[in-house]
Amino acid sequence: EAQVTQNPRYLITVTGKKLTVTCSQNMNHEYMSWYRQDPGLGLRQIYYSMNVEVTDKGDVPEGYKVSRKEKRNFPLILESPSPNQTSLYFCASSFQGRGEQFFGPGTRLTVL
């Protein structure tokens, strides 16, 4: 089944403790992206990647890092999480960055 998977689905952590949210897709898509969703602000893009070893900032990249060493994986790294990064995070992928975007199920992160 074609899908985007994220892990973990739920995470509660404390300020400053580094964490990684993994994202994987099995559709051989070049394009992958991370969004965060907050009440009243909609979904906002954090980072995106057009292909392996190619990443770029989205609208709200501060406090986040990403890497794209393999085509199928696009982990989101929070080196020093803060409470304002408490949010619902979605990973998405698409073919060549223009087509339909497929979203993962989301990761709900709480930073205390």
Residues interacting with other proteins, by CB under 8 A?
A: 4, 31, 33, 35, 37, 40, 42-43, 45, 48, 50, 56, 58-59, 90, 92, 94, 97-98, 100-106
For other proteins, which is the closer residue by CB, 37 or 67? 37
Kindly tell me which of 19 and 50 has the beta carbon lying closer to other proteins: 50
- Cβ of residue 107: shortest distance to other proteins, in angstroms? 10
Which residues 6+ apart lie within 8 Å of 23 measured at CB?
4, 5, 6, 32, 34, 73, 74, 75, 76, 91, 104
SS3 24: strand
Closest distance between other proteins and the C-beta of residue 7, in Å? 14
For residue 84, the SS3 value is helix
Q: Nearest distance from residue 101's CB to other proteins, in Å?
A: 6
**For residues 75 and 104, which CB has a smaller minimum distance to other proteins in the complex?**
104
CA distance 20 to 30: 21
Q: Among all chains, which residue has been given the structure tokens 């790294």?
A: 77
